[in-house]
Amino acid sequence: MSLVGKKFPNISVEAMNDMGDVFNVNVLEEAVNNKKKVVLFWYPKDFTFVCPTELHAFQSALSDFEKRNTIVIGASVDSAQVHFAWLSTAKDNGGIEGVTYPLIADTTRNLSSVLGILDISNERYDEDTDTVQIEGSNVTYRATYLIDEEGKIFHESVNDMPLGRNVGEYLRLIDAYTHVQEKGEVCPANWEEGKDAMQPNAKGTAEYLAKH
């Protein structure tokens, strides 16, 4: 079930930063209390292959997000201690040394379960043990959430494990949403900052299509 248009879950989760500090993060409160947008991206596991390329890509674009009044938060189901070990590992050795935004450690899987992004490929009831057996890695897909200053989700997407994200697309979506907020216009296909937007009515669509 899509969460777009709904408030982000009001759940606090343990997190780690590059200084080795362990603290609680509530994504909804980060947005609302700071009056900022949030990009929250989930990845499957620390010390894997596609994941460090994504974390470094978000780090490289961090100043671009900050210019857009947007907080970046990474997340997985690894522990805070494993996060810090990865944060302390050099980039040329597969690590994420140099990443400065916080990383959520959802070891309880409370938040990822509510979001419905865990790779639980099959559940079956075992009569012998009277338990539910889970098949699958029970880690998260590459899920991404964009959240506005009121805590509302205005974008969500989920990639399968092998598919890395295009960080630039999230910057474009934030630009488009901000344009809607400020101008009251809507953004057509392939819209980028500086391009024509549209009035949200049939006339606006007709005028835009006539020009393009």
Question: How far does the chain reach from its first CA to its final CA, in angstroms?
Answer: 35
Exposure string over 15-29, b if 16+ CB within 10 A, otherwise e: bbbbeeeeeebbbbe
SS3 97: coil
What contacts 85, CB < 8 A, 6 or more positions away? Answer: 46
* Residue 75: its H or E element: strand 70-76
Cβ atoms 83, 95 nearer than 8 A: no
Q: How far apart are CA 131 and CA 181, in angstroms?
A: 49
Catalytically active residues, by annotation? 51
Q: How far apart are CA 78 and CA 58, in angstroms?
A: 19
Cβ atoms 3, 158 nearer than 8 A: no
DSSP code at position 201: S
